[in-house]
Chains A and B, each alone.
Chain A
């Protein structure tokens, strides 16, 4: 640029100029921070651990003493697990299966619809697009409780009451506004040059969506998939209202009835709860990296 020789008095780069990330890392890895993290982790895990210990204790012990007495007076029994799987009585296995049958379509349906809708809102131009998008976004404000009775009447009129369809459709409908919003924000982040390049190569909307965007979208889809999976698996209200028959009720419904008509069998709850959390915990552990990334997906960036 210029022929002037550089001034030699310029100080050399000092090692103090470290990036913010490494400062943060340094601060966070201090032994005190580690200790704090450890204490929090122990405190937060303790109740679940107590539940696990409880689920193996005999009825009388659960009802009279706390789980910590297990260490001074260890008594292990599998009776609680036998009771919750008793085919003539509580029979959690059937309900576990129902939960799987309910959850998988209730995750896949909104994911398919929302990713297509999000693409349309992000990269297609049509009349009333903004109005429609705001309308969908606004739907998030409607509490799902107010829709329960009208939706159920609708299902009765359609003749699909007491089938899995009521649950699949309800869960999908309740998930769509948030799903579209999150995926829309994600798709919008994709540089327009990428889409334009594909268009130059002669790709239509279908090709752009499936061959350019879908591979990029995977983390967002996985993130929302986990959200939706956990929500549907743990849902009680929607299934209580729409299931309407033990043949299609999920595990949460049976779990809420586990303690008996007058709450006399509450010692079974810890075992029942553990059966029910196996799947969500597994899903979370498998996909936890996407989960954190997904939490950021809907937020405002840069």
Chain B
């Protein structure tokens, strides 16, 4: 009796699976047809093809790209390559993988690297160059970078005096998210100095609110939003020169300047009166995921949330991110209105092949033409490319980021934890900061990180 029932049930299951599988394969066939016709129909803006003629006839050649940028951010990337593909007849093969940071090392070591990799950390870039498989950027790319990017950005792509990787995208981390509506209703103004920020915070408390919300949980990377906080405050309380020394370990991690910065962060985040709007007490910072941490702003339970420009994507689709919308961000002010330190990050294009088509594409990616083409297509993306016309950016937060990045008075610094050795930057700094927020004192925290620094 059981056998009977079992077999009839399994027959139903089999039929179901077969029909579903069949439907998928049919859909797969149909899809490829659709996308083929889509490619030919789309009319990407024509560009000046002459810079790529110098690389010879590369028609029919393929360039493979491997990156950690996956859906949905990958679509504008692929679209932005079309002008190049139409110019040269070459094909760009894009592969996005969230495990990029570990897999790229495996592939490079095993001798199976892609033609180009978009590397998000200068530290990883150095590791990849050390495998001996990476090749230097061609002269044309280098010339484009000299023309369109600041010297500091070129320096991040340089290893041992040789220029390898041109900057691609960028993001600004020194931003504080807020609700423009709430600011208008309650008469708050956007602060222009750190002292103003403190005053604003206290004012919100007097009005009966919990001003700040924060969350640092992010799987094995738990703690990284705190390292950004600390880096931002090192830049502000100690200055960019000390910041550089700190990142390069020319001053120890437990230097008094760093302790001051930690305590300045603690003044906001370890104060039960200031946090954690809509989420709980100080300890809830450690258990809230960084994706959810800013959402209480929408419900009016929290007024301020410090997070990078890419946080815009975390708000539900129907949210308007604009200066007069539901939510927007302001620049985390410096010590005074004249100093403008900016903390940020970005990706760099590292090549593992020096075929003409790869060189040509590298040169295209380093040009203002590509930056503007990409700007028109994407939302939540900016570049430090000086040729980028901010009017091409659709998203108001991108415009704000680009304005901050391209401001001649701004002092840009790359995210320090991305440049420190992995044992600190993506391990001790994260973990000790997490302990710090759950009660460990500052002294123990910085001492422990200093101990973890590879000698």
Contacts and interface: CB of A to CB of B under 8 A. Distances in A.
Given A257-B97, A260-B70, A289-B6, A278 B112 contact: no
Interface stretch (A5-13, A225-233, A261-269): A261-269
A63 B316 contact: yes
Interface in B57-103: 64, 68-73, 75, 93-99, 103
Nearest to A245: B95
A153 B112 CA distance: 7
B403 interface: no
Contacts of B107: 152, 244
Given A245-B93, A286-B10, A93 B17 contact: no
With a 10 A CB-CB cut-off, give which of A87, A100, A150, A261 has the most chain B CB atoms.
Answer: A261
Nearest to A155: B112
A88 B38 contact: yes
A240 B97 contact: yes
A286 B111 contact: no
B13 A88 contact: no
A95 to B, nearest CB: 9
A88 B99 CA distance: 22
Interface in B1-31: 6, 9-10, 13-14, 16-17, 20-21, 24-25, 27-28, 30-31
Chain B's interface size range is 35 or more
A156 interface: yes
A59 interface: yes
A257 B98 contact: yes
A1 interface: no
Interface in B120-136: none
B73 A59 contact: no
B355 interface: no
Contacts of B21: 96, 100, 279
Nearest to B68: A261
Contact of B28 (A97, A155, A263): A97
Given A152-B112, A257-B96, A59 B317 contact: yes
B215 to A, nearest CB: 12
B46 interface: no
Given A93-B25, A282-B17, A257 B71 contact: yes
B10 A261 contact: no
Contact of A261 (B14, B25, B73, B106): B73
Contacts of A94: 28, 31-32
A89 B71 contact: yes
B112 A286 contact: no
A68 B154 CA distance: 52
Interface string A267-302: 000000000001101100110110000000000000
B69 A261 contact: yes
Given A97-B24, A245-B93, A264 B106 contact: no
B35 A88 contact: yes
Chain A's interface size range is 35 or more
Given A59-B316, A260-B73, A278-B17, A241 B35 contact: no
Nearest to A268: B71
Contacts of A96: 21, 24, 28
Contacts of B98: 256-257, 259, 261
A91 B94 CA distance: 14
Contact of B110 (A91, A156, A246): A156
A120 interface: no
B109 A263 contact: no
B314 interface: yes
Contact of A262 (B38, B64, B97, B310): B310
B397 to A, nearest CB: 14
B291 interface: yes
B71 A285 contact: no
Interface in B197-214: none
B139 interface: no
A148 interface: yes
Given A87-B31, A149-B106, A153-B110, A253 B70 contact: no
A88 B76 CA distance: 11
Contact of A285 (B10, B25, B68, B73): B10
B97 to A, nearest CB: 6
Nearest to B12: A285
A85 interface: yes
B423 interface: no
A114 B55 CA distance: 53
A234 interface: no
B17 A148 contact: no
Interface string A82-105: 000101111111101100100000
A161 interface: yes
B48 interface: no
Interface of A: 59-60, 63, 85, 87-94, 96-97, 100, 148-150, 152-153, 155-157, 161-162, 240-241, 244-246, 253, 256-266, 278-279, 281-282, 285-286, 288-289
Given A153-B111, A265-B71, 11 more contacts: A88-B38, A89-B75, A96-B21, A96-B24, A258-B71, A260-B70, A261-B96, A265-B72, A278-B17, A279-B17, A282-B16
Q: Which are the 8 A-B pairs with shortest beta-carbon distances?
A: A87-B31, A152-B110, A282-B17, A257-B70, A93-B28, A286-B10, A93-B27, A93-B24
